[in-house]
């Protein structure tokens, strides 16, 4: 007999993860499995392994020091290297004392939920937003996410007016709103917060007594040459920045997440909670080694950007040729496409039906907009950071499937 509190966990929809593993069981291969699944549904970058393999393989086996306990929120030398990466990115001096690491960005998000919210406290999140936020904030910590609908006619951009309206409404209903959360670059749109956007959000949250959480896991996964404004550069006490090595370094399997904050109380609590999800010392040494070679890092980011840009240009050409509308992205490993003309009707049931059809008939895993609380049905996220031949085959199959639907 399990506890009462796990019943929502048992009944939660686990389709997303199930599809990931279904794709893994019979993956597409041009020669060996041409009818296999093509997974456009998981935000992973498969274009960087040769670069990262070279560097990570320089690290030898386990050292005796790493076989014993070290600082539970991350070894100082590891946090120093992360601080150096963050200082370069943000243009301000970041201290390792303001950093906590844990086993994955999801773990960091949950730590934040636990530290900032009591059960049933709420967090405002502009939509569409990364589906894992619900999981990380709600499942154990019990924080409620309040979706703030963003308008498709305005490129789903985050507006202070809509956040204020959602905040006022929640407060009228007696809900204790504690924070605002978004990602930049944003999953699933790929837009980024400009300096002005960031300043407005920081000021708005300060005036309203809200904490501001910005997830920058895709900070260096950008096709745009525009400068990136890290939330860390604001140096504000109520701004908490989240990072991880799953995307920019394509190391999702290593599970390394990072919190940066200037709030000492929050850091102290987060350090304690990090005990439950420590990053293994060997993994820390490996990532520390990757970060310590500045010259290599600079070249790696250059090559990663050039490969990402080529892949983005190629898929957007495919989409244009297929007359599939999409939202222009500045970052992330995906494009958000509009397939609403292929829905039987304007509903999320019809979106689900189309998603199932594409999965079962075309063996293509796409992420439907409902997962991201997209306000309009018919939008799907396509992850394109796969081998080019595979992407091309996937789009060809998708277009064929859509035509048979039309």
| Interacting residue ranges for ligand PLP, rule: CB under 6 A | 43, 104-106, 130, 132, 183, 187, 215, 217, 244, 246, 252, 257
Q: Smallest gap, in angstroms, from Cβ of residue 125 to ligand PLP? A: 11
Q: Smallest gap, in angstroms, from Cβ of residue 200 to ligand PLP? A: 21
Residue 381 β-bridge partners: 336, 367
Neighbouring C-beta atoms of residue 351, cutoff 10 Å: 26
Residues 261, 22: Cα–Cα separation, whole Å:
38
Q: Which CB, 74 or 244, lies closer to ligand PLP?
A: 244
Residue 379's contacts (CB-CB under 8 Å, 6 or more residues apart) are 128, 336, 337, 338, 339, 340, 368, 369
Q: Smallest gap, in angstroms, from Cβ of residue 344 to ligand PLP? A: 30
Q: Which CB, 243 or 342, lies closer to ligand PLP?
A: 243
Alpha-carbon distances, residue 239 vs 181, 204, 213, 218, 219 (angstroms): 10, 12, 6, 18, 16
Q: Smallest gap, in angstroms, from Cβ of residue 192 to ligand PLP? A: 12
* Cα 183 from chain centre: 7
Using DSSP's 3-state secondary structure scheme, residue 369 falls into helix
Residues 192, 131: Cα–Cα separation, whole Å:
18
Q: Smallest gap, in angstroms, from Cβ of residue 223 to ligand PLP? A: 16
By residue count, the chain amounts to: 406
Task: Give which of 154, 283, 308, 141 is closest to 218, Cα–Cα.
Answer: 308
Q: Smallest gap, in angstroms, from Cβ of residue 143 to ligand PLP? A: 16
Residue 334 β-bridge partners: 383
Residue 102 β-bridge partners: 257
Q: Which CB, 362 or 370, lies closer to ligand PLP?
A: 370
Burial 284-294 (b: 16+ CB within 10 A, else e): bbbbbbbbeee
Using DSSP's 3-state secondary structure scheme, residue 247 falls into coil
Q: Smallest gap, in angstroms, from Cβ of residue 402 to ligand PLP? A: 26
Q: Which CB, 130 or 312, lies closer to ligand PLP?
A: 130
What's the farthest any 2 CA atoms get from each other in the chain? 63
**Cβ atoms of 146 and 124 closer than 8 Å:** yes
Q: Which CB, 105 or 233, lies closer to ligand PLP?
A: 105
Q: Smallest gap, in angstroms, from Cβ of residue 295 to ligand PLP? A: 26
Q: Smallest gap, in angstroms, from Cβ of residue 258 to ligand PLP? A: 9
**Cβ atoms of 82 and 258 closer than 8 Å:** yes
Bridge-based pairing of strands 99-102 and 122-126 is: unpaired
């Amino acid at each position: 007999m399990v506890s009462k509190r796990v019943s929502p966990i048992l009944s939660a929809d686990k389709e997303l993860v199930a599809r990931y593993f279904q794709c893994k069981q019979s993956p597409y291969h041009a020669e060996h499995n041409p009818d296999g699944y093509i997974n456009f549904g998981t935000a992973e970058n498969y274009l960087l392994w040769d670069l990262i393999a070279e560097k990570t393989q320089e690290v030898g086996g386990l050292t005796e020091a790493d076989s014993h306990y070290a600082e539970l929120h991350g070894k100082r030398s590891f946090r120093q290297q992360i601080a150096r990466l963050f200082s370069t990115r943000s243009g301000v001096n970041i201290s390792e004392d303001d950093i906590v690491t844990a086993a994955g960005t999801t773990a960091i998000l949950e730590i934040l939920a636990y530290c900032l919210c009591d059960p049933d406290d709420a967090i405002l999140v502009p939509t569409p937003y990364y589906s894992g936020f619900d999981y990380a904030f709600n499942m154990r910590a019990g924080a409620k996410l309040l979706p703030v609908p963003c308008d498709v006619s305005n490129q789903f951009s985050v507006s202070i007016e809509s956040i204020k309206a959602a905040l006022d409404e929640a407060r009228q209903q007696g809900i204790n709103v504690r924070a605002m959360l978004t990602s930049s670059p944003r999953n699933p749109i790929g837009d980024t917060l400009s300096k002005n956007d960031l300043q407005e959000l920081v000021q708005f949250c300060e005036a309203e007594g809200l904490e501001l959480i910005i997830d920058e896991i895709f900070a260096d996964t950008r096709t745009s040459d525009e400068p990136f404004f890290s939330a860390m550069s604001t140096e504000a006490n109520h701004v908490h920045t989240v990072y991880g090595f799953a995307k920019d370094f394509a190391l999702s399997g290593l599970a390394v997440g990072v919190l940066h904050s200037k709030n000492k109380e929050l850091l102290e609590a987060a350090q304690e909670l990090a005990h439950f999800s420590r990053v293994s010392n060997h993994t820390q040494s490996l990532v520390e080694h990757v970060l310590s070679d500045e010259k290599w890092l600079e070249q790696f980011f250059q090559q990663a950007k050039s490969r990402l840009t080529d892949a983005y240009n190629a898929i957007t050409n495919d989409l244009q040729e297929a007359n599939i509308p999409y939202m222009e992205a500045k970052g992330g490993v995906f494009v958000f496409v509009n397939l609403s003309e292929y829905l039987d009707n304007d509903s999320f049931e019809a979106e689900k039906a189309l998603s199932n059809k594409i999965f079962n008939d075309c063996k293509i895993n796409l992420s439907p907009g409902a997962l991201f609380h997209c306000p309009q049905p018919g939008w799907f996220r396509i992850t394109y950071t796969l081998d080019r031949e595979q992407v091309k085959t996937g789009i060809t199959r998708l277009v064929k499937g859509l035509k048979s639907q039309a």
